[in-house]
Amino acid sequence: MQFKRIKRPISGVLLLDKPFGISSNAALQHAKRLYQAAKAGHTGNLDPIATGLLPVCFGEATKFSQFLLDANKTYQAAFKLGQTTTTGDSEGEVISRCLVNLSRKQVEQALQQFIGPILQVPPMYSALKFQGKALYTYARAGVEIEREAREVRIYSLTLDAFSGDELTVTVECSKGTYIRVLGEDIGRALGCGAFMQALRRTHTGGFEIGRAVTLEQLEAMNLDDRDARLLPPDCLLSAFPKVSLDGESAYYFRQGQAIWLPKQQHQGVVVLYDEKQRLLGIGEVAPDGKIAPKRLVVESDGAA
């Protein structure tokens, strides 16, 4: 007889170090099985060839995952100069070659052009949807879809290493930035072409890779040790002001009703807690002090 594994209503955030060669969804599903979690989602896709920080949300934390999707991110990227590929990375076929004869100063000057707001055309080999299908589906069929350029922002772009036809950079950027496209554009600016060889995400929001755990490390742990790696759901909300409610206000807020707090100092999104400092959810503060519920949690004690 085959027994179905019972799924746990666990809530929390796991900082996962995604390995090379699998999709973000595959990494998510693996972690979900290890935790026997009933509900899970990740907070920003990494391509299979990319590694690094992939925060995974379980249970009630999934309600706040959008705040990490919108967060700035930092990557370490390695580019091969003098070649371009069909995909902009090492998985594609080489379509052009060029001799590379550049100085470090030339490379540093080229990088400076990309700091600040820039326009990027999303690559065909991406998960962006067109008429309900991902662009990579069309690309694999040899169909080119016209894409509009989007504005993204590069906050910093540092040259870490340069030798011959290879360079490594650290990029801090806004959401929606394609590092593959950035590499291609850098190669174009240098006059020799380029593609991305490797990519590692080191920071997202307020989290950094040094706090992350690998799937192999999780597999070697027992369930209690895995649970100890989870951060509480409100770790995703640290950028917002905190408001504590008395018993009566907390009761009505839990019921999904707006509450009124006179002389409210905050505007916009706030994080609300009850008298025991248990997370209630987030609300939107109106100018008159009324707080309307936006996301409510069912579990109020973090990780189960």
pLDDT at 143: 77
Whether the pLDDT of residue 303 is over 50: the answer is no
Q: Where in the chain is the domain with CATH 3.30.2350.10?
A: 12-70+207-235, 73-197
Count CA atoms within 13 Å of residue 137 on its CB side: 8
- Of 72-76, 85-89, 204-208, 259-263, least confident by mean pLDDT is 259-263
Which residues are within 8 A (CB) of 11 and not within 5 positions of it... i.e. 6 or more apart?
A: 58, 59, 60, 61, 233, 297, 299, 302, 303, 304
Q: What is the DSSP string of 66-81?
A: HHHHTS-EEEEEEEEE
Nearest-angstrom CA–CA distance, 264 and 286 = 9
pLDDT category of residue 41 using cuts at 50, 70 and 90? very high
**What CATH code would you report for 73-197?**
3.30.2350.10
Architecture of the domain whose range is 240-296: Roll (2.30)
Q: pLDDT by residue (tens digit) across 243-278?
A: 999 999 999 999 999 998 877 677 889 999 999 999
Whether the pLDDT of residue 1 is over 60: the answer is no
Mapped to the 3 state alphabet, what secondary structure does 231-279 carry?
A: ECHHHHHCCCCEEECCHHHHHHHHCCCCEECCCCCCCEEEEEECCCCCE
pLDDT at 298: 85
pLDDT category of residue 300 using cuts at 50, 70 and 90? very low
pLDDT at 127: 72
Query: Who has greater pLDDT, 302 or 107?
Result: 107
- Residue spans of beta strands (DSSP E) within 59-121: 73-81, 83-85, 94-97, 116-120
Q: pLDDT by residue (tens digit) across 186-230?
A: 999 999 999 999 999 999 989 999 999 999 999 999 999 999 999
Percent of the chain past pLDDT 90, that is, above it, reads: 77
pLDDT at 175: 92
pLDDT at 4: 59
pLDDT at 134: 77
**For range 52-58, the mean pLDDT:** 97
pLDDT at 283: 95
Q: What are the catalytic residues?
A: 47
pLDDT at 144: 81
pLDDT at 289: 82
Q: For the CA atoms of the chain, what is the radius of gyration?
A: 23
pLDDT category of residue 299 using cuts at 50, 70 and 90? low
Average pLDDT across the chain, whole number: 91
CA 134 from chain centre, in angstroms, equals 19
Q: Where in the chain is the domain with CATH 2.30.130.10?
A: 240-296
Q: pLDDT by residue (tens digit) across 139-194?
A: 787 778 888 889 999 999 999 999 999 999 999 999 999 999 999 999 999 999 99
129-133 LR contacts (CB < 8 Å, sep 24+): none
The CATH homologous superfamily of the domain defined by 12-70+207-235? Pseudouridine synthase (3.30.2350.10)
